[in-house]
Amino acid sequence: MTDALSYFAMGWLDPWLLMLTAAGTFAGIYIGAIPGLSVTMAVSVLISFTFTWPVNDALALMAGIYMGGVYGGSRTAILLNIPGAPSAIATALDGYPLAKRGEAGIAIGISTVVSVIGGFVGILALAVAAPAISDFALMFAPRDYLLLAIMGILLVGSLSGESLAKGVFSGALGVLIGMVGLDPMTAEQRFTFGSVNLLGGIPYVAAMIGFFGVSEALVQLHTLHMPAIKQQVSRIVPSWKLVKRFLPLSLRSSALGVIIGALPGTGGDIAALMAYDQARRTVKNPTRPFGEGAYEGLVAPESANNAAVGGAYIPMLTLGIPGDAVTAVIIGALFIHGLKPGPMLMIETPHLFWYTVGNLTLANIFLLIFGLTGIRFFTRIVECPKGILLPLILVLSAVGTYAIQNNPVDIYWMLGFGLFGYFLKMYGFEVGPVILGIILGPLMDVSYRRAVISVEDSFPAFLWDLVSNPLTAALTLALAALLLAQTPVASLWKRRR
């Protein structure tokens, strides 16, 4: 316990780490607030600069950016009706009508406070649940990891894309990219075309920066000259009475956010939309009708999306399976720092877990401070023209990719993925599943083959294993339900009901 506390406080007592967490949170808020600059883009571009840093420094910065970025999107959703990040889509539904009524200041204040409440609920869940899940995860067989990973890719593909087919394609493409190089079990060459450069695989950070940095920047060119709408913001700090009134809803939505965030493949955006929907169905007397400026429509998604941050860290740290696209990028960073997220991480390096919990808590406190101050400075930054911002992002993307191995070939990979990602996005494909596929592909491959080898290469025995063990059977059932929910059978059944 004393050890855990000392690890928890490590980031609080070291001025440099404290500064990095604060800087990450600050940068996250502002990057998340700029429409088109997602938190995934920020994390993937910025982590490339941290590979030479000590792991604690890199983790401190990442925790801040993630926490700040998820919250930052709400600002422009309220002020401009443009969600700065996907997790703020639901926030705009009632946030912007509030701003139009001249209540932008209070709306921002409330969203800040409930985001912080949600953040604390998520962190608490992480601190309590992760050690227990980690112990439980030691019982997981390779087949269970395989099922969890497939579920993660399918969830992110089906929930956030235009169609299941496009989600599956993106996820499978990511898996294929993750397969390039030497097979980890037999050292056979896969998709190397005889090139020595491909033996080590495709650098996944180049893929991440290409898909999230370059392609997003290119897509933003289509909205280059969108006029900025300026809003008057007066008082920000909400009254205690108001906070007290929305506290039960905030806690309820936070609990939902933690659960959604902890599901492999689903993140803050899905959590926020589900919490909004849940609030609309359960709140009897909202301040105003939903969609016309109800504070409840702001409280629910903002609590849930920040609670999902702590939730997303749970499968990442305990199972090595990313909760969403941002945690997929963070897992990539942990690999490069020589760490292997999964149940053994909690046993071999418990200090890292408690250090992360401490950092997230610290980032949440900074979120409250930065969220309730500096609104004038904020409006200036958000008004920074995209004509300046986009070339800068591309320079940072190129430099960040080069910094990983000082190899110009990585930049060409990044460029190729960026251009491909641009067309994928233009035609309605999500790039999140690609990244999840790249990270989860090798895990799925090894898990599947270990599972099959354990039954002496007998496919019927492998299939029997999927339904005979209670834990595996539950996961198989969940996966089958997920697949079935995407078929016409499910919609037919819903219509009949």
Partner 1 sequence: MNVLRRRRAGESVFGVLLLLFSVLAFVQAYRISGFSSISSAGVFPMAAAGAMVLSAAAVIAGNRRMRPPTDHGGAESVARRFFTDVAPPAVLAFIALVVLYMLTLDWLGFVVGSGLFLFGGITLLHRRGLVSGLLISAASLAAIYVVFRLVFSVVLPAGRLFQ
Residues at the interface with partner 1 (CB under 8 A): 49, 52-53, 163, 165-166, 168-169, 171-173, 175-176, 179, 183, 185-186, 188-191, 214, 218, 221-222, 224, 385-388, 390-392, 394-396, 398-399, 402-403, 406, 408, 411-412, 414-415, 418-419, 422-423, 426-428, 437, 441, 444-445, 448-449, 452-453, 457, 459, 462
- We find the least distance from the C-beta atom of residue 442 to partner 1, in angstroms, to be 9
- We find the least distance from the C-beta atom of residue 342 to partner 1, in angstroms, to be 19
- We find the least distance from the C-beta atom of residue 419 to partner 1, in angstroms, to be 7
Identity of the residue, 347 or 453, whose beta carbon is nearer to partner 1 in the bound complex: 453
Question: Which one, of 108, 109, 72, lies nearest residue 87 by Cα?
Answer: 72
Distance in angstroms (rounded) separating the CA atoms of residues 243 and 208: 39
- We find the least distance from the C-beta atom of residue 481 to partner 1, in angstroms, to be 19
Identity of the residue, 252 or 386, whose beta carbon is nearer to partner 1 in the bound complex: 386
What tokens does 100 get? 């139009």
CA angle 9, 254, 124 (to 5 degrees): 25
- We find the least distance from the C-beta atom of residue 177 to partner 1, in angstroms, to be 9
Q: Say which residues have a Cβ less than 8 Å from residue 58's Cβ, sequence separation at least 6.
A: 47, 50, 51, 333, 337
- We find the least distance from the C-beta atom of residue 11 to partner 1, in angstroms, to be 19
- We find the least distance from the C-beta atom of residue 129 to partner 1, in angstroms, to be 31
Identity of the residue, 49 or 335, whose beta carbon is nearer to partner 1 in the bound complex: 49
Distance in angstroms (rounded) separating the CA atoms of residues 176 and 165: 16
Identity of the residue, 90 or 393, whose beta carbon is nearer to partner 1 in the bound complex: 393
Distance in angstroms (rounded) separating the CA atoms of residues 65 and 51: 16
- We find the least distance from the C-beta atom of residue 108 to partner 1, in angstroms, to be 28
**Burial state string for 427-445 with b = 16 or more CB within 10 A and e = fewer than 16:** eebbbbbbbbbbbbbbbbb
Distance in angstroms (rounded) separating the CA atoms of residues 350 and 1: 11
- We find the least distance from the C-beta atom of residue 287 to partner 1, in angstroms, to be 33
82 contacts 92 by C-beta, under 8 angstroms: yes
What tokens does 136 get? 């439980």
156 contacts 289 by C-beta, under 8 angstroms: no
Identity of the residue, 302 or 410, whose beta carbon is nearer to partner 1 in the bound complex: 410
Identity of the residue, 171 or 342, whose beta carbon is nearer to partner 1 in the bound complex: 171
Identity of the residue, 87 or 486, whose beta carbon is nearer to partner 1 in the bound complex: 486
Q: What are the distances in angstroms from CA 144 to CA 63, 176, 435, 448, 453?
A: 28, 21, 21, 9, 15
Identity of the residue, 118 or 213, whose beta carbon is nearer to partner 1 in the bound complex: 213
Identity of the residue, 138 or 377, whose beta carbon is nearer to partner 1 in the bound complex: 377
- We find the least distance from the C-beta atom of residue 392 to partner 1, in angstroms, to be 6
Q: What are the distances in angstroms from CA 143 to CA 134, 150, 243, 443, 447?
A: 17, 11, 46, 11, 6
- We find the least distance from the C-beta atom of residue 155 to partner 1, in angstroms, to be 15
What tokens does 343 get? 């149940």
246 contacts 117 by C-beta, under 8 angstroms: no
β-sheet bridge partners, residue 189: 182
What tokens does 12 get? 């609080």
DSSP 182: E
Identity of the residue, 120 or 429, whose beta carbon is nearer to partner 1 in the bound complex: 429
Identity of the residue, 122 or 152, whose beta carbon is nearer to partner 1 in the bound complex: 152
- We find the least distance from the C-beta atom of residue 161 to partner 1, in angstroms, to be 11
Residue with tokens 């539904």: 93
User: Which H or E element spans position 189?
Assistant: strand 189-190
DSSP 50: G
Distance in angstroms (rounded) separating the CA atoms of residues 157 and 137: 25
Q: Give the number of other Cβ atoms within 10 Å of residue 191's Cβ.
A: 13
Identity of the residue, 375 or 419, whose beta carbon is nearer to partner 1 in the bound complex: 419
